Structure 1
Amino acid sequence: MLYALLVPFADEIGLFNVFRYITFRSGGALLTALLIGFVIGPRLIRLLRSKQNGGQPIREDGPQSHLVTKRGTPTMGGFLILVAGSLSTLLWMDLRSGFVWVALMVTLSYGAIGFLDDYRKVVHKNSKGLPGRGKLFLQVIIAVSAAIWITLLTPGPLEHTLAVPFFKNVLIDLHVFFYLLAIGVIVGASNAVNLTDGLDGLAIVPVMIAAGVFAMIAYLVGNKVFADYLQIHYVPGTGELAVFCGALMGAGLGFLWFNAPPAKVFMGDTGSLSLGGALGAISVSTKHELVLAIVGGLFVLETVSVIVQVASFKLTGKRVFRMAPLHHHFEKLGWAEPTIVIRFWIIASVLALIGLSSLKLR
């Protein structure tokens, strides 16, 4: 919005020229989202606590310590992220950017699914929420819409292709199967973040780290000079996604202020589904789907732990881990919650650096 209002006057008022720069607007989006989070956070937490009467139901089959330490904590804190991130994005983005509108559509739609899930948990006092198949069906429908929209925005030679990191000339034309890839990435990323969200601060920091990495990727992919220099595929218009990523980081920081141990609020599916979907949509738009698997490797690891656990139990009757997802396994081993969270943050940071290295190692 500020871009549309102020840039036309940049020739007369030199100060307004800074709004032409994506880097400036990304920083502005981050700070604005952070301030919005600080302002609305306390009010939102009071509202959620007054409406939920007991907070988020705690899994009876989960770690027993959670029944004591986390009982009564309100959920749906993802509203803070959605409101702060969306308002900040709309304020600082170039409103003509189709890629940002796709990312916003996925984020808000998945947030709505998460809200329905959280609402059922709170109202019915049941930790299961929406039926799994129904939730997955809604996610797929939204991902299909996003995949089609992204291909319409992407230049012809790239619209159905998969870029392979670390190889400059490898571009696989998937034809119609690209839609299956895009749907899988968006839905998979959404549910992977959802599985990771089990301890105070565990999911939000890796999400912010991934958003920071993709802010840089989006900026470089959307700039022809930098894209040619780094020998990555240039996708016009994706640079504006850096503004969206900046807003996600700021909103995430604002949420972390209240989610830091001991958490005053949980993000719930309202936050985790929307954040994962956002990362998936950004990776598909920038042609860095496989890099997301590296940068978001922590989310992949958590998801694989659940798949392995379920498969092993069904096939052999035995469990590989003491409990899945993986962070609960370490809780069962006696690791303190802050220890698990900080060590997982370190893993996420290392994976982010590996993902970033794919931009140059080609």
Structure 2
Amino acid sequence: MLYALLDWLNQHYAPPGFGAFDFITTRTALAAVTSLIISLIIGKKIIHWLQKLQLKEVIRDDIGLDSHLSKANTPTMGGVIIILATLIPALLWMNMNSIYTWMIIFVMFVLGIVGFIDDYIKVVKKDKSGLHGWFKVGGQVFVGLVLGAALYFWPAFDDFNTLSTVPFLKDVNIDYAFMGEEYGWLIYIPLVIFIITAVSNSANLTDGLDGLLSGTSAIAGVILGIFAYVSGRVDFSNFLDIIYLPGSGELTIFAASLVGACLGFLWYNSHPASVFMGDTGSLAIGGAMGALALMIHKELLLPIICGIFMVETLSVIIQTSYFKYTKRKYGEGRRVFLMTPIHHHYEKKGWAESKIVVRFWIIAILLGILSLLTLKLR
């Protein structure tokens, strides 16, 4: 919105320096700064508001982690801070005539609402089970369905809607429409639904320690922003031999907004946390990450870019599957990990919470570097 005003002023009056706002790099920097300022300023006010309303984290007393009992009075639903600090700069600095802008805003906003309802039921209605699983999945499926349909049927995407870059292989793109263009949507749209659901849920599982999800999300956001920028430039995409996506550079601005919001939230969420994001933030962040990767056709890199999310999810799947298998075979369930998601395993081993979080951040940085190296290591 602000970009549209500045662009109009530049076209009609050409004030000195206003031409700089045409550059994505300028608006990316402004979006990052704006989101950081918003999250820091409104973050404190929202935390006080949550405390006033007694919206406190529901801590289960049967999980066997005594250190978490002290977090019971910490306000939750702080994901509202991240959503506002991401969407406001995005609306201010992104090109509102771009389909990319509306798709990514739609994904984050709707999944933020789904998470908010879940938190509301847990915190206000005092129902620890939260939103029924089928309703939560239904919201994720709806978002994936709308996004998948837009990415497949929008005319501007016709030349590359079902293509995706294969990491580590040169001049190789996978085409989901291998059964023919008329049936391509039968594979592509369910794939989008699966990715949105999987990444948003895995982000939700990762949000278990102070600063873990906000820190790793900021790192992943930087990587996705870089991919969006090079994909939206014909010179860089040709040099790097990746799919050229006209207009996708606008997603760099959103990624910068998300990074700034996560870093600002981390100011309050670092150990010991003054606020938790709740499902309001984790579902919105995870959905945005999945949508960003899909829109820049780098979804095959998600297991690396969001590697921490994936490991957290796999630990739960492995633990649950092995427990059921051993219970069926031996009559008694056995465990691979002391507790899942895997960050709780290390807590059970006696690691300090801050040590686990920082080490996971380091791993996330290394995975991010590996993701960028796939641009050349092919």
Q: TM-score, normalised by structure 1?
A: 0.97
2:45 to 39, 43, 46: 43
Asked if the contact 2:82–2:281 (Cα under 8 Å) also holds between the matched residues in 1, the reply is yes
Partner secondary structure for residue 97 of structure 2: coil
Q: Does 1:103 align with 2:104?
A: yes
Q: How far apart are residue 69 of structure 1 and its match?
A: 2.2
Name the residue aligned to 1:208.
Answer: 218
Deviations 1:185-240 (A, max 9, x none): 11111011100000000111110111100111001101111100100001111110
Alignment partners' CA distance in 2, 1:95 and 1:68: 45
Alignment partners' CA distance in 2, 1:119 and 1:301: 28
Alignment partners' CA distance in 1, 2:112 and 2:67: 25
Name the residue aligned to 1:320.
Answer: 336
Asked if the contact 1:2–1:19 (Cα under 8 Å) also holds between the matched residues in 2, the reply is no
Alignment partners' CA distance in 1, 2:299 and 2:171: 16
Percent identity between matched residues is 44
Deviations 1:10-35 (A, max 9, x none): 36223001101111101100100111
Asked if the contact 1:189–1:279 (Cα under 8 Å) also holds between the matched residues in 2, the reply is yes
Residue 173 and residue 42 in structure 1: after superposition, are their counterparts in 2 closer, same or farther (change >3 A)? same
Deviations 1:269-320 (A, max 9, x none): 0000000000100100000001122111110000000000110111111111
Q: Does 1:330 align with 2:346?
A: yes
Q: Does 1:7 align with 2:7?
A: yes
Name the residue aligned to 1:171.
Answer: 173
Name the residue aligned to 2:75.
Answer: 74
Deviations 1:152-182 (A, max 9, x none): 3453231122321122322222123111221
Alignment partners' CA distance in 2, 1:271 and 1:6: 31
Deviations 1:104-147 (A, max 9, x none): 10101000000011011102334321111221112111111011
Q: How far apart are residue 91 of structure 1 and its match?
A: 0.6
Alignment partners' CA distance in 2, 1:95 and 1:180: 28
Alignment of 1:185-334 (within 5 A): 185-316=195-326, 317-334=333-350
Asked if the contact 1:63–1:328 (Cα under 8 Å) also holds between the matched residues in 2, the reply is no
Partner secondary structure for residue 72 of structure 2: coil
Partner secondary structure for residue 162 of structure 1: strand
Q: Which segment is superposed worse, 124-133 or 340-349?
A: 124-133
Deviations 1:223-270 (A, max 9, x none): 111100100001111110000001001111111111111101000000
Alignment partners' CA distance in 2, 1:194 and 1:162: 26
Partner secondary structure for residue 17 of structure 2: helix
Name the residue aligned to 2:26.
Answer: 24
2:158 to 156, 159, 166: 156
Q: Which segment is superposed worse, 340-349 or 128-137?
A: 128-137
Asked if the contact 1:103–1:278 (Cα under 8 Å) also holds between the matched residues in 2, the reply is yes
Partner secondary structure for residue 238 of structure 1: coil
Asked if the contact 1:58–1:66 (Cα under 8 Å) also holds between the matched residues in 2, the reply is no
Asked if the contact 2:80–2:281 (Cα under 8 Å) also holds between the matched residues in 1, the reply is yes
Runs of 4 or more, structure 1, over 3 Å off, are: 8-11
Alignment partners' CA distance in 1, 2:57 and 2:251: 33
Alignment partners' CA distance in 1, 2:64 and 2:23: 48
The code of the aligned residue for 1:222 comes to G
Partner secondary structure for residue 157 of structure 1: coil
Q: How far apart are residue 67 of structure 1 and its match?
A: 4.2
Partner secondary structure for residue 124 of structure 2: helix
Name the residue aligned to 2:89.
Answer: 88
Asked if the contact 1:168–1:232 (Cα under 8 Å) also holds between the matched residues in 2, the reply is no
Partner secondary structure for residue 91 of structure 1: helix
RMSD: 1.3
Partner secondary structure for residue 172 of structure 1: strand
Alignment partners' CA distance in 2, 1:84 and 1:287: 26
The code of the aligned residue for 2:24 comes to I
Alignment partners' CA distance in 2, 1:21 and 1:127: 47
Equivalent residue pairs, number: 361
Alignment partners' CA distance in 1, 2:23 and 2:302: 26
Q: Does 1:140 align with 2:141?
A: yes
The code of the aligned residue for 2:187 comes to F
Asked if the contact 1:57–1:126 (Cα under 8 Å) also holds between the matched residues in 2, the reply is no
Partner secondary structure for residue 208 of structure 1: helix
Q: Which segment is superposed worse, 161-170 or 265-274?
A: 161-170
Alignment partners' CA distance in 1, 2:168 and 2:101: 26
Alignment partners' CA distance in 2, 1:305 and 1:125: 29
Asked if the contact 1:161–1:178 (Cα under 8 Å) also holds between the matched residues in 2, the reply is no
Q: TM-score, normalised by structure 2?
A: 0.93
Alignment partners' CA distance in 1, 2:35 and 2:95: 17
Which runs of no fewer than 5 residues in structure 2 stay unpaired?
177-183, 327-332
